[in-house]
């Protein structure tokens, strides 16, 4: 099975432009950015609760400690949120307040008492539909995560750091996520003298 496409910055902008015209634009935008800017799996985005992202003062935390129930592989992990992502989360939560700190960050429009957020499958379908609508061939709900990992590698972040940010236990898993372009190969061979 082919890996999810790593989308370009222009393609991400196109997807975000598509989202801007949607009914739940801020929610859909945040779903996409959690994947692209934090490298979160779609199951982690769906399971992300307000108590994990908000500190005691109500400020968005830099580190989100996910439990083993919220991640893949029955092992908790820490997600690090950069300043841009923290601003996005803060704006979204301000626009969509909840009295229940255990509520999901992303609320489904079909929320009821038992299921207030998205299932991983439903969120996956939502994200895949956004990419399809934007005309981005080969992009899936895993594209943001692959892009996050590839971007870090392209900026010379150490592979061990990338592995931990991705929540991988095996280095080989992290290496499979890194996409290499023909342009990168051309530049690499020019380094040889």
- Catalytic choice (52, 77, 142, 146): 142
**Residue from 72, 96, 116, 132 carrying the catalytic annotation:** 72
Note if 36 is an active site residue: no
72 is catalytic: yes
Q: Is 118 helix (H, G, I), strand (E, B) or coil?
A: coil
Annotated catalytic residue 27: no
The answer to whether residue 92 is catalytic is: no
Question: Of residues 29, 36, 145, 146, which has the active-site annotation?
Answer: 145
CA-wise closest residue to 169 among 80, 74, 40, 79: 74
Instruction: Count each helix (H run) and each strand (E run) in the chain, helices first.
Output: 10, 2
Q: Which of 5, 14, 41, 77 is catalytic?
A: 41
Catalytic one of 50, 52, 146, 168: 168
| 178/155 Cα distance (integer angstroms) | 12
Annotated catalytic residue, options 36, 92, 146, 177: 177
Strand partners, 117: 107
C-alpha 15/C-alpha 80 separation (Å) is 24
Write out the H or E segment, with its range, that includes residue 79. strand 77-80
Residue 177 is a catalytic residue: yes
Residue 148 CA to residue 126 CA, distance in Å, equals 19
Give the catalytic positions in this structure: 41, 72, 142, 145, 168, 177
């Amino acid at each position: 099975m082919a890996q999810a496409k790593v989308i370009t910055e222009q393609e991400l902008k196109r997807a975000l432009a598509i989202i801007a015209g949607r009914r739940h634009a801020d929610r859909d935008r945040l779903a996409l950015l959690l994947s692209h800017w934090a490298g979160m799996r779609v199951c982690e985005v769906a399971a992300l609760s307000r108590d994990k992202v908000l500190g005691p003062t109500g400020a968005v935390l830099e580190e989100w400690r996910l439990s083993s129930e919220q991640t893949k592989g029955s092992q908790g992990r820490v997600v690090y949120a950069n300043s841009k992502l923290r601003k996005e989360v803060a704006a979204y939560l301000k626009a969509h307040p909840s009295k229940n700190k255990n509520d999901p960050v992303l609320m489904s429009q079909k929320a009821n008492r038992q299921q207030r957020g998205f299932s991983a499958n439903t969120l996956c379908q939502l994200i895949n539909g956004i990419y399809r609508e934007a005309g981005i061939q080969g992009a899936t709900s895993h594209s943001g995560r692959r892009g996050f990992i590839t971007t870090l590698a392209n900026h010379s972040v150490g592979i061990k750091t990338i592995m931990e940010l991705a929540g991988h236990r095996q280095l080989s898993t992290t290496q499979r996520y890194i996409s290499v372009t023909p342009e990168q190969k051309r530049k690499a061979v020019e380094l040889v003298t």
